[in-house]
Structure 1
Amino acid sequence: IVKLRYEMNVSEDNILVTTGSTQCMDLLGRVFIDEGDIVLVETPSYIDGMNTFAFYGGHIQNIPSNGDGMDLVALEQYLSSHDKVKAIYVIPDFQNPTGRYWSVEKRKAFMNLVSQYDLIVLEDNPYGEINYSDEIRPSLASMDTKRQVVYMGSFSKTFSPGLRVGYVIGHKTIVDQLELTKESVDLHSTALNHAIIEQYMVNYSYDDHVSYMCNVYKKRLDTLCDTLARELPEFRFIKPLGGFFLWVTIPDNIHCYDLFHACIKEKVSFVPGLPFYSTKDNTNHIRLNFTGISEDNIVEAVTRMKRAYESLL
C-alpha cells in the first residue's frame, strides 16, 4: 500500500505491526521523548497524539497552520530559537480534526527545512486512503534524505477499527528499538487479527473496498455540507477532500461547550474543538464526523443542531 500510493521504499526490516496506530505513538513516546523535550504540533492537532507525548514528559508546542498545513515561516522561527525540539508530529493527509491536506510544495519545503535540524518527524497517516479526489500526494517519508521520518499507518479507518491493526515504518535501527520496547508492552499484537486482514486481501480486493467506502463517505459529506449551508449559514467551514471530519467555525459569541450541552438536550452530539488546542483558548470550533450515519440521519442531526443553536441566541 505505502509503496504504491505514497512512493516509499520499504522492506520488511522497516516495518513493525502494532496494536492500532495509537500504539505507534505510545512506543515512539517511550523511545524518543524525555522529560522537558519539546514536541511541535500543528494548530489544532489530534488530541490523543498530544496527550501521548505529554504523558512521557514532552512539552507540546503549537505551530500556527494555514489552509494547507503548518506555517513554515513560524516553524523556522521556532526551530532557530529553541534547541530542545525533539520531534514534530504532523498529519499531512486529511488531518484530524481539520481535514487539511498538505500540498506537494508544502511537503517538499517542510522536509527541506527540518532536514537542517536534529529531530524526528512523526508522520501520522490514518486517513490518507479516505480520499474524495483523484490526487494522491507523496508522503513526507518518501522525501526523507536523513532517515528522520517515522511513518504511522492503520487499517482502522479503511477496514475495521475493532481489529486494532496499525503499523510503523522507519529506519531499521528505529524499528528494532520500537520492537524491543513493544515486547514489554504486549509481547506481540494479535496474530488472528493480522490473519483476517491478510486473508481478505488474498481473496478480495482491498482497493475496491476502500474505493466503495470513499464513495459512501463522500455522499455523506456532501449531504452534511449542503444541509449546514442551508440550515446554519452562520457556521463556516472548508469542505475537505478526504478523511472523516468537517471542522466548523461557529459564531464568536457562542462557546463550543455551550453548544455541545444544548445539542445533548436535542439528542445530537459532536466533539468540541477546544481540546484540539494545547493552549485551550479557542472556543469557537467544533468537529463533526459524517462517516458513521446515513444521509437522512445527517439531515436530522443538523436540524437538531439548529434548534440547539437557536436556543442559545
Structure 2
Amino acid sequence: MSLNYSKRMNNIKASEIRELLKLTQKPEIISFAGGLPAPELFPVEEMKKISVEVLDEQGTKALQYGPTEGYEPLRVEITKRMEKVGVKADPNDILVISGSQQGLDFSGKIFLNEGDIVLCESPSYLGAINAFKAYEPKFIEVPTDEHGMIMEDLEEILKNNDRVRIIYVIPDFQNPSGRTWSEDRRKRIVELANEYNVVIIEDNPYGELRFEGEFLPAVKHYDTEGRVVFLGTFSKIFCPGLRLGWVCADSEALNKYILVKQGADLQASTISQMQVAKFLEEYDIEAHIEKLRTVYRKRRDLMIGTMKEEFPEGVKFTNPEGGLFTWVVLPEHINARVLAEKALANNVAFVPGGSFFPNGGNENTFRLNYSNMDEEKIVIGIKRLAKAIKEMM
C-alpha cells in the first residue's frame, strides 16, 4: 500500500538523539548521549504523596478537561520561575504547554512560511532544527564563540536577508556547546530584532542550573517591544516525564500560541499541572534545584578532569558554567560518526555533532552529557572513549 503523504514529510527525519536513546536502554551501555537528568534525584516519594493529595482534594477536576492556557495556580508559580531569570510576568503572559519542545513546533507553525529564514547559533539544538524543518524554512547559521552568537555576523546577515522570521537562541549553557552568552550580546540581539522586525525564540531549559559564575538575566529581560518569546520547562529542574513547559510572551504573540495549542491537543495534562503546582506549594523547589546543581557540578568536574587526563593532544572541549553538556572538537580528519560506532562497540554512547548544524558539515564534533551517569561510569566511559579516539588518531 502506498499512501499520499504531504510534501513536508520529506523534511521530517527521525531524531538522531531519540534513535540513539533506544540503543542506550541496554544496561551495559554507558550513555553520554541524551540530555537526561539524573533519575535518582527525581522526587518519587514526594510525588506519591502529592498525587494522592491531588486526587483526594480535587479528583474530579484533576481528571477533567481544563483551560487551554493552563491551570492558574501553576501559571502563578511559573511567574515566580520567570522572576528567577529576571523577567517580570503576569499569569496572563503564560501558556502551559506539553514540554518546551511543543513550543518549538508551535513557533514554526506560527512564524514560518516555506522559504522563510531561521537564524540559529552554529551549532544549535537538534530538536529545534527538526521542529522547524517541518515548515520548510532555510537555515542560516550565525557564527559563535565562547560568548555566544557573534553580533557583527548576525547584523550582517540581517542586512542581507529580508526573509528572516526567527532568530532561535539558547543563551544559557547552550545545547550542544555548553556556552553562555555575555550580557552585551543579550542586549544587542534585542536591539537588532527591533531594528529588523524579527522575533527571537529564547529557549531556556538550563538557565537555573548554574554552577558558578555570575547570573545573567534572560534575553527576555531586555525585551522592549514584545519580540522575545521565552520557552521554559520543568523537564530539567524537576521531572521530564511530566511533559510540562511554558511559553511566556506578550499578549499578541501568546494568543497565537493559544490558538495553535487548541488545535494541537486542547491543553496540557490537567493532573500533571495540578501535581506540579501542589509540589511547588508544599515543598522547597529551590532546595531541589540546589541539589541538582551540586550533583551536576561534581559530575561536570569529574568528566572535564578525566578528559584532560585521558584525551590526546589536539582534542578540544568546552568547560560550561552550568547545564548538562560539554562539546568536543576533534582534529578535522576524524569523523565523529565513525568514532561513535567504535565507542558503541565498547558500550559507550554519545551524539555525533554533525546533526547540530542544519546545513551539514562539522563531522569532527560531538556532544557529551554529564548529568545522567554516576561518577564511576563517567570515568570508565571517558577512558573507553579516549582509547577509541587515540586509535583513530
Which TM-score band applies after superposition, normalised by the shorter structure?
Answer: over 0.9
Match of 1:225 among 301, 304, 322: 304
What SS does the corresponding residue of 1:178 show, helix, strand or coil?
helix
Contact 1:262–1:309 (CA under 8 A) maintained in structure 2: no
The corresponding residue for 1:56 is 135
Alignment map for 1:78-89 (pairs within 5 Å): 78-89=157-168
Consecutive unaligned residues of structure 2, counting only runs of 5 or more, are 1-79
Q: What is the distance in 2 between the residues matched to 1:132 and 1:221? A: 10
Listed one character per residue, the Cα deviations across residues 38-80 of structure 1 (whole Å, up to 9, x for unaligned) are: 0100000001111111211221110111111111111111111
Asked if 1:288 corresponds to 2:373, the answer is no
The corresponding residue for 2:267 is 188
TM-score, normalization by structure 1: 0.97
Q: 29-38 or 230-239, which moves further after superposition?
A: 230-239
Contact 1:13–1:175 (CA under 8 A) maintained in structure 2: no
Q: Which amino acid aligns with 1:148?
A: R
What SS does the corresponding residue of 1:4 show, helix, strand or coil?
helix
Q: Which amino acid aligns with 1:265?
A: A
What SS does the corresponding residue of 2:348 show, helix, strand or coil?
coil
Q: What is the distance in 1 between the residues matched to 2:294 and 2:242? A: 23
Match of 2:207 among 116, 121, 128: 128
Q: What is the distance in 2 between the residues matched to 1:279 and 1:58? A: 12
Match of 1:23 among 102, 109, 123: 102
Deviation at 1:183, TM superposition (A): 1.0
Contact 1:262–1:311 (CA under 8 A) maintained in structure 2: no
Contact 1:16–1:179 (CA under 8 A) maintained in structure 2: yes
Q: What is the distance in 2 between the residues matched to 1:67 and 1:312? A: 27
| Seq. identity, % | 36
The corresponding residue for 1:214 is 293
Alignment map for 1:7-156 (pairs within 5 Å): 7-156=86-235
Deviation at 1:134, TM superposition (A): 4.9
Listed one character per residue, the Cα deviations across residues 242-280 of structure 1 (whole Å, up to 9, x for unaligned) are: 110010111222111111011011010100000001221
Q: What is the distance in 2 between the residues matched to 1:117 and 1:2? A: 30
The corresponding residue for 2:74 is none
Deviation at 1:311, TM superposition (A): 3.1
Contact 2:325–2:368 (CA under 8 A) maintained in structure 1: yes
Asked if 1:279 corresponds to 2:328, the answer is no
What SS does the corresponding residue of 2:175 show, helix, strand or coil?
coil
What SS does the corresponding residue of 1:61 show, helix, strand or coil?
strand
The corresponding residue for 1:247 is 327
Contact 1:5–1:136 (CA under 8 A) maintained in structure 2: no
Consecutive unaligned residues of structure 1, counting only runs of 5 or more, are none
Contact 2:179–2:318 (CA under 8 A) maintained in structure 1: no
Contact 1:256–1:286 (CA under 8 A) maintained in structure 2: yes
- Larger radius of gyration, structure 1 or 2? 2
What SS does the corresponding residue of 2:304 show, helix, strand or coil?
helix
The corresponding residue for 2:389 is 309
Deviation at 1:307, TM superposition (A): 2.5
Q: Which has the higher contact order (CA 8 A, sep 6+)?
A: 2
What SS does the corresponding residue of 2:368 show, helix, strand or coil?
strand
Q: Which amino acid aligns with 1:94?
A: F
Q: 228-237 or 285-294, which moves further after superposition?
A: 228-237
Q: What is the distance in 2 between the residues matched to 1:36 and 1:279? A: 15
